[in-house]
């Protein structure tokens, strides 16, 4: 079965054949995006459940963050290896392996009775995600022809990637009402169903000949794990009394980052000389893909900021409960789904730099709106308009970046190309949490010190109620500081995209190959693949 080409106009498929092809591709897309949603929301679904997990399993404050970081470190560090495994063994096989491991790990995480058990199985979830995520993205290029079908697939995929965090907050709040364990156990039936359906709905890629690049796999994985660990350590609070995070010169921050950078340099050197590279350098030396990867390193940092600091503001300043706070992000999910579909339609007619640039401007405007928050802000006037604006911008931004990040990739490299994109997102998110987390904590500490000095100068020590109020004012100030920096990060990512991307929309419709006759994305609106 082949989906590599569109039918000639002289040999249009029958309506029955076209209908079967459409249904098959729709089911294939549902399967891929379900797996992607499962992987993405698992990074946020436990956020609301963490206090309940701490109480049930006796986590210390210092170890609590490992519930999240054990997952993100394994996920981010093993992505390149997972993508390359798909290229060499077969993407559908590795995808099925990944979702199966993810489901089994979720079962044992949901049954965990101690700290070490939960942390271990969360890391195993990350391993499964690292195998599933890059191959899910690569399977779009394997199963969907360039043009209308692939644009639509990437739009839905991008919407699920962007909305996953918001859906995770809603689902996490709802499931935690019953038990925190259901935030893990819900993945089990989903993972089993996806693994069983994959052979029926997804075409297997042709395995690529070659040996394992073991030195490259070791240096890349350890390098990324070290960097992600260092950034996550930086984001943690060092002093509970002042709320100040660890400094950049702390040994467990600077040391792992330095070691990680050195290992990645060694990795690049190894990839230049090995005939069977884990990451063929042609993947990242193409200008279009390189610009897309850099942008996808920066943009998630800004989006993570919105979810993290808006969530804290909604719960701790506005006083929303977990479930109500989760539903507060429902407009973001709706907005990004709508704008992602709009972006997929525009992709056949407008160059990606202008779609992404417009989205970046909208999203940056949304982040600017958050910088006007104060202690008296409400959800309806202080947050909701900017959540909607940012969601619309993010959908327009993500779709063209995903399309260009995998454009003109040799089919044999689709898995590792997709893995690089996922890696950029994970590392970018960790970088954003570290940098913005420091700014957030410093902003709180500085504002609190200012308010206490003012009270001391007035000669009247603040009451307990006044001190609590000062804390809310200080947290609001730290939130505004973090959003201000996030806005400039997004502006930088937008400028890089608009200036750097030079691929035309006609090239995206044909995988960069010259189009024959009038067979462009616009024509594809009228036809479906002849066979699937």
Write out pLDDT tens, residues 256-308.
Answer: 999 999 999 999 999 888 887 888 888 888 889 999 999 998 988 787 777 77
Query: Is position 8 within any domain?
Result: no
Q: What is the pLDDT of residue 413?
A: 75
> Using CA atoms, how far apart are residues 370 and 314, in angstroms rounded to an integer?
12
Q: What is the pLDDT of residue 15?
A: 53
Q: What is the pLDDT of residue 515?
A: 42
> Using CA atoms, how far apart are residues 487 and 389, in angstroms rounded to an integer?
13
Helix, strand, or coil (residue 245):
strand
Q: Where are the alpha helices (DSSP H) in 347-457?
A: 352-370, 384-405, 414-457
Strand partners, 528: none
> Using CA atoms, how far apart are residues 198 and 312, in angstroms rounded to an integer?
38
Q: What is the pLDDT of residue 407?
A: 80
Q: What is the pLDDT of residue 242?
A: 62
DSSP code at position 509:
T
Helix, strand, or coil (residue 244):
strand
Tens-binned pLDDT, residue by residue, of the chain (532 aa): 444 444 444 444 455 555 666 777 788 888 888 888 888 777 777 877 777 888 899 887 557 767 877 887 788 778 888 888 888 888 899 999 999 999 999 999 999 999 999 999 999 999 999 999 888 888 887 788 777 777 888 888 877 776 777 788 788 878 887 888 998 999 999 999 999 999 988 888 877 766 668 888 889 888 888 887 887 777 676 666 666 678 888 898 899 999 999 999 999 999 888 887 888 888 888 889 999 999 998 988 787 777 778 888 888 899 887 778 878 888 988 898 899 889 988 988 999 999 999 999 999 999 999 999 999 999 999 999 999 999 999 999 988 998 888 787 777 777 777 788 878 887 787 777 778 877 888 898 889 989 988 888 887 788 888 889 999 999 999 999 999 999 999 999 999 999 999 888 888 766 554 444 333 333 333 333 333 3
Residue whose C-alpha is closest to residue 248's, from 442, 445, 33:
442
User: How many Cβ atoms sit within 10 Å of the Cβ of residue 243?
Assistant: 19
> Using CA atoms, how far apart are residues 348 and 522, in angstroms rounded to an integer?
6
Residue pair 501/356 in contact (Cβ under 8 Å)? The answer is: yes
Q: Which residues contact 463 (CB under 8 A, 6 or more apart)?
A: none
Q: What is the pLDDT of residue 256?
A: 93
Query: Is position 52 within any domain?
Result: yes
> Using CA atoms, how far apart are residues 105 and 366, in angstroms rounded to an integer?
37
> Using CA atoms, how far apart are residues 372 and 111, in angstroms rounded to an integer?
44
Q: Hey, what are 104's tokens?
A: 């089994």
Query: Is position 57 within any domain?
Result: yes
Q: What is the pLDDT of residue 61?
A: 59
Q: Which residue has the tokens 């590392």?
A: 427
Domain that holds residue 94: 17-524
Residue whose C-alpha is closest to residue 350's, from 528, 492, 498, 493:
498
Q: Which residue has the tokens 């995006």?
A: 33
Q: What is the pLDDT of residue 493?
A: 94
**Per the structure, how many domains does the chain have?**
1
Q: Which residue has the tokens 């890696």?
A: 423
CATH number at residue 214: 1.20.1250.20
Query: Is position 4 within any domain?
Result: no
Q: Which residues contact 390 (CB under 8 A, 6 or more apart)?
A: 306, 332, 335, 362, 363, 365, 366, 367, 369
| pTM for the model | 0.77
DSSP code at position 237:
E
Query: Is position 1 within any domain?
Result: no
Query: Is position 530 within any domain?
Result: no
């Amino acid at each position: 079965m082949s989906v590599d080409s569109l039918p000639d106009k002289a040999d249009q498929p029958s309506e029955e054949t076209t209908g079967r092809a459409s249904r098959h591709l729709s089911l294939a897309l549902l399967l891929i995006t379900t797996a992607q949603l499962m992987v993405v929301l698992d990074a946020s679904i436990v956020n609301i459940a963490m206090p309940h997990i701490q109480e049930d399993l006796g986590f210390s404050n210092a170890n609590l963050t490992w519930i999240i970081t054990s997952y993100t470190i394994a996920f981010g560090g093993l992505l390149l290896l997972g993508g390359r495994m798909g290229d060499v063994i077969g993407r559908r096989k590795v995808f099925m392996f990944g979702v199966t491991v993810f489901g089994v790990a979720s079962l044992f995480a949901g049954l965990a009775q101690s700290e070490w058990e939960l942390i271990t199985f969360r890391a195993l979830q990350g391993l499964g995600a690292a195998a599933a995520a890059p191959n899910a993205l690569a399977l779009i290029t394997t199963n969907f022809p360039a043009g209308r079908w692939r644009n639509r697939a990437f739009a839905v995929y991008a919407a699920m990637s962007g909305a996953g965090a918001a859906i995770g907050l809603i689902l996490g709040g709802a499931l935690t009402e019953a038990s925190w364990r259901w935030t893990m156990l819900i993945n089990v039936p989903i993972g089993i169903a996806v693994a069983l359906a994959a052979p029926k709905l997804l075409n297997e890629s042709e395995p690529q000949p070659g040996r394992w690049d073991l030195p490259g796999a070791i240096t890349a994985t350890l390098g990324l794990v070290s960097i992600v660990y260092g950034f996550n350590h930086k984001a943690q609070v060092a002093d509970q009394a002042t709320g100040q995070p660890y400094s950049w010169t702390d040994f467990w921050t600077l040391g792992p980052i330095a070691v990680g950078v050195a290992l990645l340099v060694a990795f690049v050197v190894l990839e230049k000389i090995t005939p069977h590279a884990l990451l063929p350098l042609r993947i990242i030396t193409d200008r279009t893909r390189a610009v897309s990867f850099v942008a996808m390193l920066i943009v998630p940092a800004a989006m993570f900021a919105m979810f993290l600091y808006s969530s804290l503001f909604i719960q701790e300043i506005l006083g929303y409960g977990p479930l109500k706070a989760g539903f507060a992000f429902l407009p973001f999910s709706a907005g990004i789904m709508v704008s992602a579909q709009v972006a997929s339609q525009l992709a056949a007619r407008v160059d990606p730099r202008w779609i992404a640039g417009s989205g970046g401007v909208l999203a940056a405007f949304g982040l600017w709106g958050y910088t006007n928050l104060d202690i008296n802000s409400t959800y309806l006037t202080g947050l909701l308009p900017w959540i909607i604006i940012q969601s619309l911008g993010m959908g327009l931004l993500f779709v063209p970046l995903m399309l260009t990040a995998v454009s003109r990739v040799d089919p044999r490299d689709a898995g590792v190309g997709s893995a690089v994109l996922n890696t950029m997102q994970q590392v970018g998110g960790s970088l954003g949490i570290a940098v913005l987390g420091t700014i957030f904590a410093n902003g709180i500490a500085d504002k609190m010190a200012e308010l206490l000095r003012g009270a001391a100068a007035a000669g009247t020590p603040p009451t307990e109620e006044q001190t609590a109020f000062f804390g809310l004012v200080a947290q609001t100030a730290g939130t505004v500081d973090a959003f201000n920096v996030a806005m400039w990060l997004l502006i930088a990512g937008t400028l890089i995209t608009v200036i750097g991307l030079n691929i035309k929309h006609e090239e995206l419709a044909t995988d960069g190959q010259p189009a024959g006759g009038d067979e462009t994305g616009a024509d594809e609106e009228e036809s479906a693949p002849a066979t699937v």
